[in-house]
Chains A and B, each alone.
Chain A
């Protein structure tokens, strides 16, 4: 090929532009720390990287909900543990009351204790988490006593659900009707039973007291069952939380593998690009060779 002045300049320009473009490319990757900055950097990988980052965001929301689910379940668990303790005490009181040798004055004292325990249980049943009733479904108050002394469940059967995974929801509340025996025959709910127990203690009716104790056992069993359910739910949520944590780690790792640069590799590439550019510069400087004109006098 015939070499002319312009062909030399074309080669020079080509070499410089190409190697400078490479330097700019590696520098962008190094400074952003990402292999994929624009959609065109690696279209297929970019789509996958974006999907991973959406999954991260989704799981962050699920984890947040799971934490909230845990708060509900732990609070309910604590409340029912205290109900359970109270019911043990009430059972002891009933046993004592049935003892024929006990004086009426002592029975009256026991009855007073039962009434105060009943008030405590009512407070527990109406525990709030934030502004929400823990045992009232979607309602505000779980248990109310009417003016005529009858007890009723004023919540509903609403299930408070939390999404703790993709298409996975868990109910985090137990309706008070189930926990406190409002599903049992009329007058046999926990609070009416305690009222009846107090009344029977005052009247010293030991036969009735024995019957009351039977009903009380059934209610204690209800609370026990509820505690069991809560425990199972807590297990499920914490298993899911562990799964969420490890899933997020895996996704993060995958996304990083896909879209972040390998520092060592990128440094090497940048070094190579810079060396290439310097070589092109040196070649350009040298290709400005003297011509015959320099040697003619």
Chain B
């Protein structure tokens, strides 16, 4: 008779636990990275029946036990999500940086190239009125505009690089923080598992931290049989068991290009994810663009200075150099008294009224070998500037296309992971109804046993 009470109470306990899990699931239905928890209920081990004469009355049921509270988690969905997250972090960093970078030349038709057009046209105007001081000043101003546009472009590239460097340094701080979280959680989880608990919410917290690490640095993970997770960047451990290894962010002196190294031994790190994207843009794409701009600046300087030297200025002496500076960051029109309006070599013969050499200067616009790029290709100054724009555009468009592709894959990986791990409120409601009924029935069992005991104790033999 008492065993019926026991069976009833085991059912009460098991159904309560199941209702509790369903409520926890409903409460966390919208929490990012929460995995649905299910209560695994099984029949309790029966006890052998007592002998009645030469027959046994069979095995006696002992009710129900809660075996475990499991976390619904699909490792495959996790690793699919994480590889997309790393790719998306990388592509996102590149896309935003390059989108900013394409602003350095201004708009397509009114930007840097139109400044250059104005410069060449100012020589045409000068050739028509070689003795006009205003026309000579116009050439100086238009030249300075071109030089300033090139200088501004490099200043903006520097700014973009330094902004990327500060993003990297913020990211590295987050990575270090997350890595030590993972290491601590590894220890706590190990302790909990050793004492036979299922630390589901801690496992979720660790997975969330690893998700973030993947987005930031494209880490890979390895889980051992005890449930300890090791985290790697490349082949090196970021987390090993309960130990984490810090990263240090820095910048290359002079260029300001961000760097990331292991705090322990100072060796460099080649991470993926968001910081990988920033490092790629700042160490490859932006320096390439910058060296193209430098080629343009040097080509412009040499073409104009050489042609200047071949002509005669207002006083009949050979033309003075026009541009100074060795790259796009330093190019400038030479200041008076070394270069004044009167020192522009508009004259071929030396006569003040002769504006024919200004035509040669204006014709530099179609000098197709003025600029030599690093790969040996040659172009006119205008086309070279356009090549920089085209390169910027192609890089930004490519990065943007990649980013929207990774974004889509990430969303779908997220969805299929949520589909495997997430909470469906309807399912929980069904469980609630199911266990509510089971609970009522178990209560009924207890009250029936109670009535039976009452009959036995109080009403027998009265």
Contact = CB atoms under 8 A, between A and B. Distances in A.
Nearest to B107: A37
B161 interface: no
B120 interface: yes
A6 B30 contact: yes
Contacts of A139: 351, 353
A46 B121 contact: no
Given A39-B393, A167-B366, A51 B419 contact: no
B257 interface: no
A177 interface: no
Interface stretch (A156-164, A183-191, A225-233): A156-164
A169 B423 contact: no
B386 interface: yes
A11 interface: yes
A65 B127 contact: yes
A205 to B, nearest CB: 42
How many B residues touch the partner, as a band?
A: 35 or more
A163 B359 contact: yes
| Interface residue SS majority, chain B | helix
Given A39-B105, A259-B109, A4 B117 contact: no
Contacts of B359: 161, 163, 169
Given A41-B393, A47-B386, A65-B128, A291 B418 contact: no
B271 interface: no
Interface in B310-355: 349, 351-355
Contacts of A156: 349, 351
A7 interface: yes
Contacts of A68: 128
Nearest to A44: B390
A40 B99 contact: yes
A3 interface: yes
Given A5-B29, A161-B359, A61 B121 contact: yes
B419 A1 contact: yes
Contacts of A60: 121
A10 B425 contact: no
Interface in A9-60: 9-11, 14, 36-44, 46-47, 49-51, 53-54, 57-58, 60
B102 A39 contact: yes
Interface in A156-212: 156, 158-163, 166-167, 169
B153 to A, nearest CB: 12
A158 B312 CA distance: 14
A131 interface: yes
Interface in B372-425: 382-383, 386-387, 389-390, 392-397, 400, 408, 411, 414-416, 418-420, 422-425
Interface stretch (B61-69, B295-303, B426-434, B454-462): B426-434
B390 A6 contact: no
Contacts of A255: 109
Nearest to A140: B353
Given A10-B411, A167-B366, A292-B425, A50 B396 contact: no
Interface residues of A, number: 58
B351 to A, nearest CB: 3
Contact of B424 (A2, A167, A169, A296): A2
B154 interface: no
Contact of A38 (B102, B386, B387, B416): B102
B356 interface: yes
A5 B117 contact: no
Contacts of B116: 54
B125 A5 contact: no
B387 A5 contact: no
B93 to A, nearest CB: 16
Interface in A274-292: 291-292
B365 interface: yes
Interface in B117-146: 117-118, 120-121, 124-125, 127-129, 131
B362 A163 contact: yes
B305 interface: no
A152 to B, nearest CB: 18
A130 interface: yes
Nearest to A43: B393
B201 interface: no
Contacts of B127: 65, 161-163
A51 B107 CA distance: 13
B353 A47 contact: no
B108 interface: yes
A258 B357 CA distance: 36
A146 interface: no
A112 B383 CA distance: 66
Nearest to A291: B425
23 contacts: A4-B423, A7-B419, A9-B30, A10-B415, A39-B390, A40-B102, A40-B396, A40-B397, A41-B393, A44-B390, A46-B108, A50-B386, A57-B117, A57-B121, A58-B121, A61-B120, A64-B128, A65-B128, A160-B353, A162-B127, A167-B363, A259-B108, A293-B425
Given A49-B109, A163-B127, 10 more contacts: A4-B419, A9-B30, A10-B411, A39-B393, A43-B390, A57-B114, A137-B353, A138-B349, A138-B353, A161-B356
Nearest first, the 9 closest Cβ-Cβ pairs linking A and B are A39-B393, A138-B351, A43-B393, A4-B422, A57-B117, A40-B396, A292-B429, A61-B124, A61-B121
